[in-house]
Amino acid sequence: MPYPDRFYPVVDSVAWVGRLALLGVGTIQLRAKDLNESEALQIVTDALEVIKGTDAKLVVNDYWRAAIVAGAQHLHLGQEDLVDADLDEIRKAGLTLGISTHDDEELATALAAKPDYIALGPIFPTTLKSMRFAPQGIPKITEWKKRIGDIPLVAIGGIKFEQAAEIYAAGADSIAVVSDVTQNADPDARVRQWLGQSAEVA
């Protein structure tokens, strides 16, 4: 399987990680905010435990020290996190690294870190957090993909299942999804839709 998988949900709890893993999701990002070191270590350890026996890969957002100590294999950093992270330690621990980007300067910073994938967002307006950056739009996906070449490109931000085909066609290798799953009236059915669509284009 490619990494990250075509469908890449981002959730904030161990319960969500477990639920998605049982549905057959291949790559799941755990993004829990404002935890101290011990809380971060606990949630990462619990999330790794809950995916045991499934095909899911856990991507830890931000907490790189906890990821290393807990034995995680995959890490995602935003630009702010990247400033404080020890990339040598992260690589020495064997972690893959994905990095968020929003503009040209951030893309240059991310590429210098030799990431395993680049995330571009927000593609559409998102209500989940106040964004410093305007929506990128679908044409930016094509432009970014040309610039990064063989590095996988993850599109994120306000994306719904109905837009997936267009976003893959624009050049995204993977789509990161938050509210279209977690705020859906029937999350399990929505996940199955995404997994079915991903299988068709894989």
Domain membership flag for residue 40 = yes
**Total of domains in the chain:** 1
Contact 194, 7 (CB under 8 A): yes
pLDDT(128) > 70: no
Domain membership flag for residue 104 = yes
Domain with residue 90: its CATH number is: 3.20.20.70
Domain membership flag for residue 150 = yes
pLDDT(155) > 70: yes
pLDDT score recorded for residue 5: 97
Higher pLDDT, 131 or 58: 58
Domain membership flag for residue 2 = no
pLDDT score recorded for residue 123: 96
- Angle, helix 138-148 to helix 104-112, in steps of 10 degrees: 30
Domain membership flag for residue 202 = no
Q: What is the pTM of this model?
A: 0.96
pLDDT score recorded for residue 104: 95
Domain membership flag for residue 201 = no
Domain carrying residue 171: 7-195
Q: How would DSSP label each residue in 141-157?
A: HHHHHHHHTTS-EEEES
Cα separation, 161 vs 58, in Å, equals 22
User: How large is the average pLDDT for residues 148-167?
Assistant: 97
Cα separation, 173 vs 89, in Å, equals 28
Q: Both tokens of residue 32? A: 């829990």
Domain membership flag for residue 200 = no
- Candidates 46, 64, 183; CA nearest to 126 is 183
pLDDT tens, position by position, 18-58? 999 999 999 999 999 999 999 999 999 999 999 999 999 99
Domain membership flag for residue 74 = yes
